[in-house]
């Protein structure tokens, strides 16, 4: 199974529609089957729409889908090119005062969507509010999560520690493989923080890959890392149970795919 994860930084980027097309063309070229996207935005003021039958809704959705939802437009583009994807989206909080910001999953396989509130707050006006979208691909006995975590704090009642513990509690009932993808805001090289915490129960697919093409997904200072001056690996794929991983490849870095965001993406070729 070919899997992509990307923090899209959607609508914040220059020429966002051009970059949407570039993302879609890359998905088609690589034959990706599951795509996890973060910072998937829609304007709060945009018109509400009724998505088609490929949209995987969930009970108690906190925000309706708008006409300019970045994931919806990407799915529309892929459909124009002859490829149908099931998709889902959940909203975490308001971004830049004008967007509903959340995470999405696109899949060649139908799935049951679930939105997990993992933060102490559920106030969408508070950027600390975080929801993780789960896609239960029941026929494949696989659950995929599109994750965008807060930064690490030593206080267990907030930030990464709290959010990670909530995910663990809420996924205990799942009786099959789990693949978590996304922007964890947890640099792999920092000991004793978020990455170490995740690694206690999940395995980083980077270390399972037989072939590695690149490593880092952030090159310098970006939103949320304004003082950063080093390359970071903060976008990950983690599996609950180790699997065979043929390749881990950094994409959308100007070498393998055009730069479309302030994050690079990752492409994983895995066997479940």
- Tens of pLDDT along the chain (272 residues) come to 999 999 999 999 899 999 999 999 999 999 999 999 999 999 999 999 999 999 999 988 889 999 999 999 999 999 999 999 999 999 999 999 999 999 999 999 999 999 999 999 999 999 999 999 999 999 999 999 999 999 999 999 999 999 999 999 999 999 999 999 999 999 999 999 999 999 999 999 999 999 999 999 988 644 554 555 578 899 999 999 999 999 999 999 999 999 999 999 999 999 99
- Contact by Cβ (8 Å): 268, 205: yes
Tokens of 233: 């690996």
CATH number at residue 80: 3.60.10.10
Residue ranges in 46-189 assigned as alpha helix (H): 70-80, 159-171
- Contact by Cβ (8 Å): 102, 64: no
- Owning domain of residue 46: 2-271
- Number of folded domains that form the chain: 1
């Amino acid at each position: 199974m070919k899997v992509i994860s990307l923090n899209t930084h959607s609508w914040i980027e220059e020429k966002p529609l051009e970059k949407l097309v570039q993302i879609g063309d890359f998905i088609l070229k690589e034959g990706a089957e599951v795509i996890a996207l973060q910072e998937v935005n829609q304007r709060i003021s945009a018109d509400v729409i009724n998505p088609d039958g490929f949209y995987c809704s969930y009970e108690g959705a906190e925000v309706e889908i708008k006409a300019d939802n970045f994931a919806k437009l990407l799915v529309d583009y892929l459909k124009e090119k002859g490829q149908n994807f099931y998709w889902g989206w959940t909203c975490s909080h308001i971004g830049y005062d004008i967007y509903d910001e959340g995470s999405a999953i696109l899949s060649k396989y139908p799935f049951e969507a679930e939105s997990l509130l993992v933060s102490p707050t559920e106030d969408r006006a508070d950027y600390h509010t975080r929801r993780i979208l789960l896609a239960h691909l029941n026929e494949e006995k696989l659950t995929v999560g599109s994750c965008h975590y807060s930064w690490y704090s030593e206080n267990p009642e907030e930030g990464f520690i709290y959010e990670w513990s909530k995910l663990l509690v809420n996924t205990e009932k799942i009786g099959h493989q789990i693949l978590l993808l996304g922007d964890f805001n947890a640099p792999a090289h920092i000991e004793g923080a978020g990455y170490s915490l995740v690694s206690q129960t999940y395995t980083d697919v980077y270390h399972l890959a037989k072939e590695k093409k690149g490593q880092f997904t952030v090159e310098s200072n970006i939103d949320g890392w304004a003082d950063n001056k080093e390359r970071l690996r903060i976008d990950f794929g983690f599996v609950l149970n180790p699997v065979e991983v043929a390749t881990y490849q950094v994409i959308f870095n100007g070498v393998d795919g055009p730069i479309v965001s302030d994050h690079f993406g990752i492409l994983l070729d895995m066997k479940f």
